[in-house]
Amino acid sequence: MVSIMEIYQLLPKLNCKECEKPTCMAFANSLLTGESVLEDCPPLYRSEYESQLEQLTTMLAPVKGATETGLIVHDELCFGCGNCVVACPVNVANDPHGAAVGLAPSNDKVILAVVNGVVTAANVSECRRFGPNRILCDVCIVTCPSNAIEFV
């Protein structure tokens, strides 16, 4: 998965603040989290940065489907086993008689659920990784046998 430094290396590094971020490094971070888009950086669209723009577009393509918490599910890798659904601490707290005991989620308060054989995210604002007081919970990642879940 792409890192902030890799994105930063391809940015103009002018720190012009036209993107309303204090530095290009901060802009690189906001690109990765989905907070900003490439169009927010006008200098990048000058002819001298054409190749960098092309590389950045390719590099950020997989990140486009990420949720507000940076969660990406690789559909082609997911088995739909539901390990993440049952292990997720938020799912357990919100659905103690469904997801917590290994059954299908019984309400709509859960973050993760399996639809058509692939895990999908909802209610991301409930995720421990959401918001300014987020913690780096990684339960859904470590319980996934096929590395189908990633955070950017």
Contacting residues toward another protein, per CB under 8 A:
78-83, 85-87, 92, 100-105, 113-118, 142-146
**127 or 148: CB nearest another protein:** 148
Cα dist from 101 to 82, 86, 87, 93, whole Å = 12, 7, 10, 11
Smallest distance, another protein to C-beta of residue 151, A: 18
State which residue, 5 or 115, has the beta carbon closest to another protein.
115
How near is the Cβ of 116 to another protein at its closest, in Å?
5
Minimum gap (Å) between residue 150 Cβ and another protein? 15
- Cβ proximity to another protein, 81 vs 124, nearer residue: 81
Indicate the residue among 26 and 144 with the shorter CB distance to another protein. 144
Q: Following CA atoms 88, 90, 92, 93 in sequence, which dihedral angle do they give, to the nearest 10 degrees?
A: 160
Task: With beta carbons less than 8 A apart as the criterion, state whether 75 and 118 touch.
Answer: yes
Tokens of 110: 């859960």
Distance (Å, whole) CA 14 – CA 112:
40
Q: State the nearest-atom distance from the C-beta of 25 to another protein, in Å.
A: 34
Distance CA 15, CA 21 (A): 8
